[in-house]
Amino acid sequence: MRRRVVVTGMGVISPVGNTVSAFWESLVAGKSGVGKITRFDASEYPCQIAAEVKDFNPEAYMDKREARKMDRFAQYAVAAARMAMDDSKLQITEENEERVGVYVGSGIGGLETLMEQHQILLEKGPRRVSPFFIPMMIGDIATGQISIFLGAKGPNSSPISACATGTNAIGDAYKIIERGAADVMITGGAEATVLPLAVAGFASARALATAFNDTPEKASRPFDRDRDGFVMGEGAGILVLEELEHAKKRGAAIYAEIIGYGMSGDAYHITQPAPEGAGAARCMREAVRDAGINPTEVDYINAHGTSTDFNDKLETMAIKKVFGDHAYKLAVSSTKSVTGHLLGAAGGVEAVACVKAIQEQMLPPTINLENPDPECDLDYVPNVARKMAVNVAMSNSFGFGGHNASIIFRKYQE
């Protein structure tokens, strides 16, 4: 028999709040986290806006000396992980430390550290490059730092699958517990790439929104006819996943059960989704099969919904392929309309949004949906949150390279 896996803790650092409650309240209120870039002078860039994390103090979560040895993405990850573990009320001890693992990914990793140290190399020479440069930069270091801070000695790894990273991390962690290799996994994604090089690179690829520099809160508009690209965001989203009997034995609060995971590859193009959303459809279909449910049981999909032309249309097509007539009965929304696109962290924060939707029986809206694209004709919960019975929720994430990942949560029942 497959071991059942539940969510017992959550933590979020995001452009719309650095606690789960603040994050959720902003989603439900449709309060945009997008604004003018403040981290650097972006006045000469085609895209001058982003969804930056605000009021984050790493010293609230770690010693100042330790914080200095971490790139911001790792600081976000450690902060969200500590928050999630506090929420779970799980104590890691000598008795259980080898059964608690960490599986947290980042799509890009320590780009800020790379940029800073490269500048030092050019200006001051090789001897002035920091000895902490490599361990600060590498993408797996968030997982490593979390395990060190918390003392988790179980399965430990870090996936990289671009914007699907956070969802792949959670799905993989779920399977680790399901097969019995761990009892608890701390999992999700983290990213901090609101930086000159990243903004310039994505803008050169014509992926970023450029038409709303003067009205940034309107820029992220998934499924809207006037969308013109995504808005870069940053932060971290972490879940504590736990084997059901382990959670019950210690009297843990159970927020939801994770029941399905699917992934696929497009094998088509480095940035553009496969025609008709074929890869995304295979991924969602596999998640439904793995969950052992009928497609008609899915009530809500937190869409990848990036606010880009191809993605929104092709994800809509993929949902129709998988769900048939039920596609018009279930609800779909993109919380990226509020948070921007957190790249490798997106799947982590959007998993938290799905769990909260189940917990609160409330759907976060897709804001800025003012002129619906005729090719995007599903129920995207436009502009206003909706009270609704949510028993089963799916979260989608698709990434450059043709990576697709979907996870399914269900309201917990004995």
- Angstrom distance (rounded) from CA 268 to CA 247: 42
163 assigned to active site: yes
C-alpha to C-alpha distance for 317 and 189, rounded to whole angstroms? 27
Q: Among the options 47, 163, 283, 354, which is catalytic?
A: 163
> What secondary structure, in 3-state letters, does 48-114 show?
CEEECCCCCCHHHCCCHHHHHCCCHHHHHHHHHHHHHHHHHCCCCCCCCHHHEEEEEECCCCCHHHH
Give the 3-state secondary structure of the chain. CCCCEEEEEEEEEECCECCHHHHHHHHHHCCCCCEECCCCCCCCCCCCEEECCCCCCHHHCCCHHHHHCCCHHHHHHHHHHHHHHHHHCCCCCCCCHHHEEEEEECCCCCHHHHHHHHHHHHHHCHHHCCCCHHHHHCCCHHHHHHHHHHCCCCCEECCCCHHHHHHHHHHHHHHHHHCCCCCEEEEEEEECCCCHHHHHHHHHCCCECCCCCCCHHHCCCCCECCCCCECEECEEEEEEEEEHHHHHHCCCCCCEEEEEEEEEECCCCCCCCCHHHHHHHHHHHHHHHHHCCCHHHCCEEECCCCCCHHHHHHHHHHHHHHHHHHHHCCEEECCHHHHCECHHHHHHHHHHHHHHHHHHCEECCECCCCCECCCCCCCCCECCCEECCCCEEEEEEEECCCEEEEEEEECCCC
Give me the amino acid identity at 24: W
Task: Retrieve residue 240's tokens.
Answer: 């504590």
Catalytically active residues are: 163
